[in-house]
Chains A and B, each alone.
Chain A
Amino acid sequence: MGRSHRPHRRGDRHDESSPDSGERVLVLPGDQVAGHGWKPGRGTYRVGDRVFASVLGLYQPRPPLAQVVPLNGRYIPKEGDEVIGTVVDVQGTFWLLNIGAPRWAPLHMTGTPWSIEIGETQKYLHVGDAVLVRVESLDPTGRIGVTMLGDDLGKLEGGTIITVSPAKIPRVIGRGASMIQTITRLTGARVAVGRNGRIWIDGPPEAIQRVAESLRLIDDEGHRPGLTERVESYLAATASSADVLMRSTPRSLVDAAPEREGPEPDRSGPEDP
């Protein structure tokens, strides 16, 4: 996607997911969004020389493309996205994962760091297990290929998973991962963020609770300004003696060694049989 050359508003975010700062009008399916000379982009369709919205979303034209960015809906996979899935079926050579997309995604045993004999898949992952994987391939019939080969990827042991709207994930991560770093710093929890709106949290129950509440705040109020401040003040207000030590770490120290985005998920599979 070509970056717009329009000037950014103050406070606008500069990561790739940042929307164009142009006019953003809420449109509904069937609303006419453009006339002659426009091409139908995503979230739109054309009848004659008129372009209509096909989904509920914000109209963000990029001439000559009329497009509507949806505000809701299922996670639509993109190649390269890191997503959190749960195993829904185990077959001889692959597992089927629910990643919240329209279809289940097969994870083939060759896409894992483990050397597995055919038929031994169930020794490694069971129905209900959570994994952090990357979307590797997409085809026009909607098939989604995922892999577990990659630096942060692997099985997620323990912890709990919270779901937010996939549209809010850029807010959860924040500019340059600032939001997620704030949350992990102030709670001490380990967090993995999936582009599909699922967020894995591990740590003491009270830390998990506080992360979950922060995420709910982002999910419900992500559009209002001053989000980071509100999350910070919530986390400060709920800080207990258990993590006073965490909070008293000088900020400069934390900032000097920025955490990686996301956690260090457990990469170890089960002990080799």
Chain B
Amino acid sequence: MGSVGAKEVPVLMTPDGRRIDGRRWDELRPIHIVAGPLRQADGSAFVEWGANKVMAAVYGPREVHPRHLQENHRAIVQCRYNMAAFSVDERKRPGLDRRSQEISKVIAEAFDSVVFAEEFPRTSIDVYIEVLQANAGTRCAGLVAASVALADAGIPMVDLLPAVAVGKVAGEVVLDLKKEEDNFGEADLPMAMVPQSGRLVLLQMEGHMTREELSKALDLGVKGCREVHEKMKEALRARYTTTDAGADA
């Protein structure tokens, strides 16, 4: 993505341990989550995560289209992750590409493992993720947005699904890479975790790490996911305590 190689490699880590945007190795970018901004969808969420801006909408459970995908003992989870043409520096060619297909698939599978799908046989839970502005870590931001949207849609599930990317930059294991760190760093490791059990339901890696670095990165990711989880809960509470806390069942 982008024009790697053409640019000079920026200073990714200062001698006193500051990263390109001033963060320490174990700090997240600022995260702001809004639950339920869309009226038409059954559930929705908007996430600003550093310079990422991601909107997610959830529909369902509803009838499955196309029909042959229907499963007669459970719901299926379908996901479409899409990046807007204007989400990156150089215009992205709109529509599905191999990257977005892959991300859609891993996100759908992550949710499939936390949603109580048996409660809605022969239906589909459809998750739409639109990346409006990208700055590394959009699959995690998208997953977080989609998870808040699923809760907002009233879908029964084991837990919210926080996600974060860990990586290796200038020889150091760091939390939540931003674009320059992703482009010029040595490794990128996005992960999603079920906080209730500590189970990982999404784990991918690009680049190289030693065994020790990987284990350090996983610990760091778990810590990051817990912080993201708090932000997700705050957003949902903010929405429902101001408008619906006393609502009838």
Task: Say if A and B assemble together.
Answer: yes
> What residues make up the interface of A, taking CB atoms closer than 8 Å to B?
17-19, 24, 26, 28-30, 43, 45, 47, 52, 54-58, 60, 69-74, 102-104, 140-142, 165, 167-168, 170-171, 220, 222-224
Partner of B158, one of A29, A57, A168, A220: A29
> What residues make up the interface of B, taking CB atoms closer than 8 Å to A?
42-43, 60-63, 72-73, 75, 116, 120-123, 151-160, 194-197, 233, 236-237, 240-241, 243-249
20 A-B pairs besides A45-B116, A45-B158, A142-B123 with CB distance below 8 A are: A30-B160, A52-B159, A54-B116, A54-B156, A55-B156, A56-B152, A56-B154, A56-B236, A56-B240, A57-B249, A58-B245, A72-B154, A73-B153, A74-B61, A102-B62, A141-B122, A142-B120, A165-B247, A168-B248, A171-B248
A227 to B77, CA, bound (A): 39
> Which 7 pairs, one residue from A and one from B, show the smallest C-beta to C-beta distance?
A73-B154, A30-B159, A223-B246, A69-B249, A102-B61, A72-B154, A54-B156
Partner of B63, one of A28, A56, A103, A171: A103
Chain B contacts for A19, CB-based, 8 A? 248-249
Determine whether the beta carbon of B233 is less than 8 Å from that of A28: yes
A201 to B106, CA, bound (A): 45
Enumerate 26 A-B pairs (CB-CB under 8 Å) in ascending A order. Answer: A24-B246, A26-B237, A26-B240, A26-B245, A28-B151, A29-B156, A43-B156, A45-B116, A54-B158, A55-B155, A55-B156, A56-B236, A58-B245, A71-B154, A72-B43, A72-B154, A73-B42, A74-B153, A102-B120, A103-B61, A103-B63, A141-B73, A141-B121, A141-B122, A142-B120, A224-B246
Contact residues of B: prevailing secondary structure? loop
Determine whether the beta carbon of A170 is less than 8 Å from that of B248: yes
Chain A contacts for B155, CB-based, 8 A? 55, 73
Chain A contacts for B157, CB-based, 8 A? 29-30, 54-55
A139 to B160, CA, bound (A): 29
Determine whether the beta carbon of A167 is less than 8 Å from that of B249: yes
Which residue of the partner chain A has the closest CB to B154? Answer: A73
A73 to B154, CA, bound (A): 4
Instruction: Give the Cβ gap from B172 to chain A, nearest Cβ, in Å.
Output: 32
Chain A contacts for B240, CB-based, 8 A? 26, 56, 71
